[in-house]
Structure 1
Amino acid sequence: MPQNEYPVVTTGPGTTRQVLAQNDQMMLVSFTFQTGSEGALHSHPHVQSTYIRAGRFEFRRGDETLILQPGDALTIDANVTHGCRCLEAGELIDSFTPRRDDFL
């Protein structure tokens, strides 16, 4: 489905989200961040993988802190607390299984 089929949604100061593709089994989402913006600590029942397309990010995943840059990726198990802080403006590509119905 073309990107323009899904709206760009502001998710907080300096952050946006856009669904790229989805079905009932999984979802692919682009998140953009301005330098200094944050993805608040949270957890959800979905398994998540994140690919750093651009920028630099400090990720918290459970008790871990990771500094990630373009080309890096990580997975996050269901119900694990995680979040990030953007060190250099960029984009994350996240996949979720099952689909995040709250994003539709």
Structure 2
Amino acid sequence: MPHLVREFPTVTTGEGVTRQVLSDSPELMVVAFRFEKDSVGALHNHPHIQSTYVQSGVFEFTVGDDRVVVRPGDSFVIPTMVTHGCRAIEAGTLIDCFTPRRDDFL
């Protein structure tokens, strides 16, 4: 039987940015990142494949050499080790999926 409910704390990851793991398994993790207006997700990279879904807000994303503005309903995939980050043009929430799980978030 699947593990359906597990409570994870909300963690502050930067000025105006919080992270909350929503669900996880060794193969996959779902995480909500909440941003206040003008908050920044610093440029970084990691070995995990990441899929991002914009639940609310407007964000300017840098992914590799590309820069794009994303809005609610937009989604995209960030390949392993590609440098990426964002700025919240409007306050909002991003839902990120990582494969495999980000053990550093637990």
Q: TM-score, normalised by structure 2?
A: 0.95
User: How far apart, CA to CA, are the structure 2 residues paired with 1:2 and 1:86?
Assistant: 30
Are residue 37 (structure 1) and residue 39 (structure 2) matched? yes
Mapping of residues 8-87 of structure 1, within 5 Å: 8-87=10-89
User: How far apart, CA to CA, are the structure 2 residues paired with 1:84 and 1:74?
Assistant: 13
User: How far apart, CA to CA, are the structure 2 residues paired with 1:65 and 1:12?
Assistant: 21
3-state SS of 1:102 partner: helix
3-state SS of 2:68 partner: strand
C-alpha RMSD over aligned residues: 0.8
User: How far apart, CA to CA, are the structure 1 residues paired with 2:74 and 2:58?
Assistant: 10
Query: Displacement of 1:2 after TM fit?
Result: 3.6
Paired residues, number: 103
Q: TM-score, normalised by structure 1?
A: 0.97
**Match in the other structure for 1:99:** 101
Percent identity of equivalent pairs? 57
